[in-house]
Amino acid sequence: MQLPNATYRLQFRNGMDFARAVELIPHLVRLGISHLYASPIFTAVHGSTHGYDVVDFNEIDPALGGREGFLRLLRQLKAQGLGIILDIVPNHMAASLENKWWHSVIELGRSSAFAGHFDIDWRQPLILPFLGQSFEEELAAGNVRLALDRNRNCLALKYFDGLYPLSPATYSAILKGASPALQRVAAIARAAESSGTADLHSEISSVLKMPPVAAELDELLERLSAEKQQMLRLHQLQPWRLTSWKSARDQLSYRRFFEVAGLVGMRVESPSVFADTHRLTLDLIKHGLVDGLRVDHVDGLADPEAYLHRLRQLVGNSTYVVVEKILEANEALPQEWPVEGSTGYEFISALAELLTNEQPSSGLSSEARRSAVKKAVLECKLQVLNHNFNAEVMRLARLAADLGSNDGSSQDTDRCAEAIRQLMAALPVYRTYVSDRGATERDKQILDEIELKAVAAAPAAEAEIGLVIAALKSKSGFAGRELHSEFRTRFQQLSGAIMAKAVEDTFFYRTTDYLAANEVGAAPSWRPGGVDRFHEMMQDRALNMPNGLSATSTHDTKRGEDARARLYTISEAPDVWAASVARWHEMNAERIRHLPDGDAPEPSVEQFLYQSLLGIWPIRSSLDEDNLSALRERLCGFAVKALREAKLRTTWESPDERYETAVVEFLSDLLDLRSPTFLESFETTARPFIQAGLINSLAQTLVKLTAPGVPDIYQGSERFDFSLVDPDNRGRFSPRPTPSKLPRSPTASDFEDCKQSLIERCLNYRRNGGSDLLARGEYLPLHLQGPSSRHVAAFMRHTDNDFSITVVPRLVFGHTVGDRLAVLPELWEDTCLVWPDGRDLTRLQNLATGHIFEPRRHLPIADVLRNFAVAFLVPG
């Protein structure tokens, strides 16, 4: 296998297509990138902004340039020695009428050839929660009508632009008493359930060529549309039910991706479904066109291990495979999975250890905070279990009750539901991986622990909790084997969604004291462990996942890498920040709206807004109306999303527009040149945080480039990434060349060039001679001694005949030199790097600056970091 040297994550759509990607190739070559890492390229819903809503796994999206455009991109990549990694989405497809498989299922119900492709509970009608109100309300409003779908040649219920195909079995009721030509359509429709719809659609196409018959059909459908009772009866005869989008939380008959009813789960555990959904992907690999795969949301699959083994068997050992998997603290990627690693969220968590102040003064390590966080997270989990995912919980509860009945006992469905809620709320990881192969010791231990917590929380449901745990642990022993397997599978598929929505998309928008830690993959009750824990994590990474991706920004992160790097500095000066927030609160008191249910924004939200603003505040202090307007638009849109995700005073389901408007107006007032007092105060306070944050950005960049793992560069972040959560992080970008020479003493205004130059130099070193060292070399923490040793971190990567040393500053708030990208030399007085025992002294060169250092047993940090923030030392 040819391992990637470095990947460049490119988000197709939003103005990026294959032709534009071709134009980027020279830039990628200069950077030292080895593989383009592409977001999903298969045909997605029309107008998709991300591509994860696939409608055809076996077609390359014409909107991106189609197959020919993709092949041209591949030829250009190969010509420059670059490979490509594809992002594949086996867990779900778009529940869209554009999806031919889904359309067939709606039309034919369980008789469709694709009914088994989707994860649907056929014990009830297929619920389609895509109406603004209930079906009866929409019908009364005249928004639902009978229509002829002239593109698909079928009869349908029309709801605005949506045409939901009617079951052929109901054509007779519609066409009763019509002309012979339409009666023939009805006769063919009666056979469609067993023979398929091809003949039916062909006959309708023929009918449409006869103007009198087509006019008769239009008139008939128009007349029947006005007969409300007939329309209600017709709706009840379908294998599906159109419902309000709000009903999905309580009534849903298919597995969805998280809370997104527009994304339906796939049954890729079935060999035939796997084959149908992977045909094009496997063909591209077979012909040597694609070098690697990223498997999206692997935890959503019924049996991730079995899926990955099947995938590996078909793509071979020469294909690079990584999985999107959130690893909690002290959780390892299962060794049984035949993959190179994960997509790298855990690397972001490691950087938080490095760049966050671990001392008690940060306020992040107190037991009181930890206890409050645990309580808040539990509340968030129970909220989404009781409300957002009630349909999934009750489906599981019914399965559990049936399991108990089959086993000779009797369980109450409501108590089963409570058992499921308490167990999932207690789960410390995204999911367990119990299968017909049994449970690992790790999973048994987790299940034992959550059983004790669940029983303590809900003693009345102790019997039901025991039943659920037995069903999760057991390979067999239940009378209904299929029922047992279904319950175990669905429990494990749901638990990851609960963790994601409760922690990442609820709690992290509620807790506002330290936003830098509120990131995908972060532990909510995390305590900073400092350099020692960072080194432990990197040593573990070198041993267990040396070829996984090392990410700092992705399309899913809550904020861009440089915004996060800046916000880490708040842990260094919590008192300064708290005093500033108090001053701004008093300064802006008149802007706060006093609503009946409380102030808007309330203090916690106000704190959230100030930190968010700090993260995206411009490096250069000059603010004109255009810049402020753009800042306002970004932050106000983000604020509304954050408030709804927090689910406290407004939600996506029931938005409180008065509250949201009040918060948006508060922000708009702050970011107004006509009221400069706040802007001037914020700029003055922000400046030292910004300067220290830029040092952090360069430090985390160098660490990513040289620590164990494959560096992953998110589009545009080679210069800077101060983005907020999507869609803010999916904007267009334009590459710029790296200057041939950087200033001897670069300043903040040179940051973008310095960051890109650092990436370019280190990646080209990896590509041109350091690939084996940085891919396979051991990781050795280096000892620092002196009064400021806690302000610097260093490590060596080494093989038998080569080595490199990475040196980065940390916790430098208040120690920067004006606007220079450097640290005050006085900080490093008497602080040095101790040369490791067992290695010969040798002359060193700093690849970041070109400076040469003569060999010394104690290397002064003041010399190493004299003219630039970071140092990457190699034998010189």
Integer Cα distance of 122 and 116 in angstroms:
10
The full DSSP string for 266-324 is: B-TTSHHHHHHHHHHHHHHHHTT---EEEETTGGGSS-HHHHHHHHHHHH-TTSEEEE-
Q: What's the average model confidence in pLDDT over 781-786?
A: 98
Question: If you average pLDDT over residues 257-274, what whole number do you get?
Answer: 98
pLDDT score recorded for residue 408: 56
Question: Which tens digit of pLDDT belongs to each residue from 310-321?
Answer: 999 999 999 999
Tokens at residue 502, please?
């409760």
Examine the pLDDT at 436 and tell me if it is beyond 70: yes
Handedness of CA 117, 121, 126, 130 (dihedral sign): negative
Q: What is the pLDDT of residue 730?
A: 87
Rounded-to-integer distance, Cα 389 and Cα 375, Å: 20
pLDDT tens figures, 164-223: 999 999 999 999 989 999 998 999 998 887 778 998 999 899 988 999 999 999 999 999
Q: Tokens for 707, please give them.
A: 């620590």
pLDDT at 476 over 80: no
Position 807 confidence tier, pLDDT thresholds 50, 70, 90: very high
Q: Is the dihedral of CA 418, 420, 423, 424 positive or negative?
A: negative
| pLDDT band (50, 70, 90) for residue 475 | low
At 553 the pLDDT is: 98
Cβ-based burial of 737 (10 A; exposed 0-12, middle 13-18, buried ≥19): exposed
Q: Is 875 left (phi over 0), alpha (psi -120 to 50) or beta?
A: beta
Q: What is the pLDDT of residue 709?
A: 98
Mean pLDDT, to the nearest integer, of 853-870? Answer: 94
Q: Which helix (H) or strand (E) holds 704?
A: helix 676-706
How far is it, in rounded angstroms, from Cα 414 to Cα 401? Answer: 9
At 470 the pLDDT is: 93
Residue 249: the pLDDT is 94
For the chain, what percent of residues have pLDDT higher than 70? Answer: 99
pLDDT > 70? residue 651: yes
* Among 273, 275, 266, 337, CA closest to 302: 266
Which has the minimum average pLDDT: 256-260, 268-272, 471-475?
Answer: 471-475
pLDDT value of position 531? 98
Burial class (CB in 10 A: 0-12, 13-18, 19+), 309: middle
Q: What percent of the chain has pLDDT over 90?
A: 90
**CA–CA separation, 695 and 816 (whole Å):** 9
Residue 825 CA, chain-centre distance (Å), reads: 41
Q: Are 164 and 146 in contact (CB under 8 A)?
A: no
pLDDT tens string 591-641: 999 999 999 999 999 999 999 999 999 998 777 888 899 999 999 999 999
Which tens digit of pLDDT belongs to each residue from 661-709?
999 999 999 999 988 999 999 999 999 999 999 999 999 999 999 999 9
**What is the average pLDDT value for the chain, to the nearest integer?**
95
Mean pLDDT, rounded, for 469-476: 83
Residues 156, 215: Cα–Cα separation, whole Å = 16
CA atoms within 13 A on the CB side of 262: 14
SS3 sequence of 555-596: CCCCECHHHHHHHHHHHCCHHHHHHHHHHHHHHCHHHCEEEC
Q: How confident is the model at residue 477 (pLDDT cuts 50, 70, 90)?
A: low
Q: Name the nearest CA neighbour of 558 among 627, 630, 620, 641.
A: 641
d(CA 823, CA 861): 11
* Model confidence pLDDT, tens digit, residues 90-101: 999 999 999 999
Q: Which helix (H) or strand (E) holds 706?
A: helix 676-706
d(CA 751, CA 718): 11
For residues 732-743, average pLDDT: 88
Q: What is the pLDDT of residue 410?
A: 64
Q: How far apart are CA 190 and CA 201, in angstroms?
A: 13
Q: Which residue in 493, 522, 544 sits closest to 339, CA to CA? A: 544
CA distance 336 to 801: 33
Helices (H), 132-210: 135-140, 171-175, 180-195, 198-208
Report how far residue 400's alpha carbon sits from residue 397's, in angstroms, rounded to the nearest whole number. Answer: 5
